[in-house]
Structure 1
Amino acid sequence: MSRFNIAIVGGGLVGASLALSLQAGAKARGWKIVLIEPFAPGDSWQPSYDARSSALSFGARRIYERLGLWQQISRRAEPIMQIQVSDRGRFGATRLSALEEGVPALGYVVENAWLGQCLWAGLDHEVISWRVPAEVRSMQALADGYRLKLNDDTELECDLAILADGGRSSLREQLGIAVRQQPYDQSALIANITPGEAHCGQAFERFTEEGPMALLPLPENRCALVWTRTGNDTKRLAALDDRSFLNELQGVFGYRLGTLRQVGARHVYPLALIEAEEQVRSHLVILGNAAHSLHPIAGQGFNLSLRDADALADTLLDSEAPLGDLAVLLAYRDRQRLDQQLTVGFSDKVTRLFGSKQSVIATGRNLGLLGLDLLPPAKRWFARQAMGLGTRPDV
């Protein structure tokens, strides 16, 4: 039976980023890492109009720069130069700009397939073994690690198991790790849009009584749309023909980018705030969406998970204790606790505040948006949260 120092269950963006954060230090220590992923990456990246994308914060850029990957990633990363935040039908609005914050961009929008290709291309096969395509069917706790059984009936053991298999992790449930779940009674409709005018690196966060929407800049003058509405209404929007859909979107978004010309495939996802009640056990770490799934409108989910992965790698490589030592894993959890609490709280409160239809709350949030422009320290704090720099000056 094969024995590894670290097994990363889930080779998506979070799992692959963790592997890259670990690999230089792992090579120096002689560690062996295995990355287990159900979906094999393609041999070459192909552009697609309908590609799903992620918003990377400026803090995420700094992490990938340290890993030597940013130059490659940036070839297909669209910079966010300005963010406009507005409340439909009300006077409150504010703008964040990269120039005012003294950064080259507030963030970047990258197609997931391209980002994944860059991450996997950076893996050192002398340190990191792949089991792809492969799936972990069960995990058994041992005195000195975990035994993993794969879908081909092979087994392997590890000193430390990292569970990064997504928000609907069946292994998390199998291990008896409970979650706190707060449904938003909303679904997100995801699609790519082509506007009539150049987006010029502008991102839009627009809040309506029916739910918030975000329009983020992509290469080739496309925009990534995240439109949240109640579940039945989202399904109705997804079923409309393209012209009817664009007309309805235009009525809510307005003509800031001219006439909306094209919409791609639409996908609908139910939304909830989900947090694992345990993120560490002896010889086990829960990471990524398996640890915390956030509302997508604030664009904080992947960036928080990337900071978690970065902090976990630092904590493991700075320790002389055996891999999987509970005290070391608790130190990682404590190191990230404030970042997680503030980021989850920021994302959740923004979602609930701007989703409220109560007139008193609506008036207060509009005054708050105006206040951001009038109070530079408050606006600076808001911008640092959006850039993923709130509690991690090191990134």
Structure 2
Amino acid sequence: MNTERVDTDLIIAGGGLAGATLALALARLVPELKVTVVEAFPLSPEALPEDYQPSYDSRSTALAWGSRLIFDQLGLWRQLSEHATPIRHIHVSDRGRFGATRLHANEHGQDALGYVADNRWMGLCLMRALLDTRVSWQAPAQVEGMKPVAGGVRVAIRKDGAQKELTARCLVIADGGRSGLREKLGFVTRTEAYGQNALIANVSTSDSHQFTAYERFTEAGPMALLPHGSPKRPGHQSALVWTLENEALDEILSLSDEQKCQKLQERFGWRLGRFTHIGQCHHYPLNLTTVDEPARPGVVLVGNAAHALHPVAGQGFNLALRGLMTLVEQFRRAVDEGISIGELSVLGRYQQLHRQDWQHTVQFSDSLIRIFGQPLAPIAAARDAGLVGLDLLPGAKRWFARKAMGTGGRKPLVGSGVSSFEAEKHDR
């Protein structure tokens, strides 16, 4: 590697799910690197509770089976699984029409097709694991700027009201798409608005979910209900992702909880019985956001800072996680070959590999939105036939299952210990 003196090999801007996972993966798989995480929220071992008590209103993330394999590789899955609800069945349907398809984990020799885990629980598991590594933290602190220097970058960090600088071989921006840091550094984003919003809440139903995830396409947009709560007993709580246009969102938010349940019942139907309770509602606008060149010498974007997509099929965090592992793989290779991790050849190779995955995933999710958003009768009949065909054609069904489970892709780099699961909600 280059011999220029640096304060740290790698600075990660953002210690949320993406940044913390990257830090842990590097500690496990590229331990030679000195890693520093800059996080805006205060962190301390004393703040980590001994016992986790799930909240009804906890925000959650859908984890594909491929993501479970990654966390297992990082030695984190055993702990994560304590509060991760399995998805053993997936039911996809077109509201008001006959088209439907069903996926079952046992048909693929798996215990689950995916899982649903609270974001806070995932964060706690990551923090506990990171306490036993050499990763250092600057928190609460923020990255305010960066400029290239010989052999790497100089990063401006504000902490305790004062600014200081650290030199590193590479800066990874993992602070999501809303901090403004990527724009401050001159990265150009392209945003395509879907004209929709995602309303997120946890709901209770009179019938048990039986570990089934429902993806329901309606004339007003897709709606997902994911099993939530106990990882062992089929319960009555589900995580809702409800796609609504602006006026419809305003109308729903103005209603009482009982009225919200009634509206939800009208849209979803009775597959889970009666909706009996809806928790705190969160919402955000839906956009397809891309960055044409997310990698430059010494700096690279990951997770939502690099791309954001529609939450249909729960692809977002799983795509980000696969990208993180691809980046770790390239860092591992660079260290083995004596190349600086900030070289454009290293980061450009990551960009090339991850872009293939990103393009396939966006094509998959975006096509679902556009196909199921068409009200024309011939198109509606064709998509119904397609859903039925998925149930009848084993090859097509396996392809769809692989997309949902995130298990397609390249083999791991030989000898690296890093697996890339390169084929397939909020990662910050």
The C-alpha deviation readout for 1:203-251, integer Å capped at 9, x for no partner, is 0000000111000001143110000011121121122100000011011
1:331 aligns with 2:331: no
CA contact (8 A) 2:30 2:328 kept: no
The C-alpha deviation readout for 1:184-212, integer Å capped at 9, x for no partner, is 00001000001111111000000000111
Read off the aligned partner of 1:160 and give its amino acid letter: C
- Pairwise CA distance, 1:24: 2.8
CA contact (8 A) 1:206 1:212 kept: yes
1:236 aligns with 2:246: no
1:144 aligns with 2:163: no
What's the counterpart of residue 426 of structure 2?
Answer: none
Quick one: distance in 1 between partners of 2:56 and 2:299? 39
Quick one: distance in 2 between partners of 1:360 and 1:293? 31
What's the counterpart of residue 24 of structure 1?
Answer: 28
What aligned pairs does 1:101-112 form with structure 2 within 5 A after superposition? 101-112=108-119
The C-alpha deviation readout for 1:72-120, integer Å capped at 9, x for no partner, is 0000000000000000001100001101121110000000000011011
Quick one: distance in 1 between partners of 2:150 and 2:372? 48
Structure 2 spans left out of the alignment, 5+ residues: 412-418, 422-428
C-alpha spacing 1:330/1:95, structure 2 compared with 1 (3 Å): same
CA contact (8 A) 2:290 2:306 kept: yes
The C-alpha deviation readout for 1:259-302, integer Å capped at 9, x for no partner, is 11111001111001001111211111110001110111210000
- Pairwise CA distance, 1:392: 4.3
Match 1:135 to one of 109, 119, 142: 142
The C-alpha deviation readout for 1:28-65, integer Å capped at 9, x for no partner, is x2x21101111235422442110000000000000011
Quick one: distance in 1 between partners of 2:113 and 2:340? 39
Q: Which moved more, 1:185-194 or 1:329-338?
A: 329-338
Q: Which moved more, 1:313-322 or 1:145-154?
A: 145-154
Quick one: distance in 1 between partners of 2:6 and 2:207? 56
1:190 aligns with 2:188: no
**TM-score where L is the length of structure 1:** 0.96
1:360 aligns with 2:378: yes
C-alpha spacing 1:23/1:387, structure 2 compared with 1 (3 Å): same
What's the counterpart of residue 180 of structure 1?
Answer: 190
What's the counterpart of residue 372 of structure 1?
Answer: 390
What's the counterpart of residue 113 of structure 1?
Answer: 120
Match 2:400 to one of 378, 382, 390: 382
What's the counterpart of residue 342 of structure 1?
Answer: 360
Q: Which moved more, 1:149-158 or 1:369-378?
A: 149-158
SS in 2 for 1:303: helix
What's the counterpart of residue 228 of structure 2?
Answer: 218
Quick one: distance in 1 between partners of 2:332 and 2:179? 27
CA contact (8 A) 2:89 2:212 kept: yes
- Pairwise CA distance, 1:391: 2.6
The C-alpha deviation readout for 1:118-165, integer Å capped at 9, x for no partner, is 011111555210112211122223232222222331221211100011
What aligned pairs does 1:33-48 form with structure 2 within 5 A after superposition? 33-40=35-42, 42-44=47-49, 45-48=52-55
C-alpha spacing 1:205/1:126, structure 2 compared with 1 (3 Å): closer
Match 1:166 to one of 158, 176, 191: 176
**Shift >3 Å, 4+ stretches:** 392-395
Q: Which moved more, 1:13-22 or 1:133-142?
A: 133-142
Quick one: distance in 1 between partners of 2:89 and 2:107? 10
**TM-score where L is the length of structure 2:** 0.89
CA contact (8 A) 2:309 2:362 kept: yes
Read off the aligned partner of 1:7 and give its amino acid letter: I
Q: Which moved more, 1:279-288 or 1:119-128?
A: 119-128
Aligned-residue CA RMSD in angstroms?
1.6
What's the counterpart of residue 208 of structure 1?
Answer: 218
- Pairwise CA distance, 1:2: 7.5
What's the counterpart of residue 15 of structure 1?
Answer: 19
CA contact (8 A) 1:186 1:270 kept: yes
Quick one: distance in 2 between partners of 1:229 and 1:277? 29
- Pairwise CA distance, 1:315: 1.2
Quick one: distance in 2 between partners of 1:225 and 1:40? 30
What's the counterpart of residue 254 of structure 1?
Answer: 269
CA contact (8 A) 1:282 1:326 kept: yes
- Pairwise CA distance, 1:256: 1.0
C-alpha spacing 1:25/1:387, structure 2 compared with 1 (3 Å): closer
CA contact (8 A) 2:199 2:241 kept: yes
Identity of aligned residues (%): 48
Quick one: distance in 2 between partners of 1:39 and 1:364? 49
Match 1:4 to one of 8, 11, 31: 8
Quick one: distance in 1 between partners of 2:366 and 2:273? 31
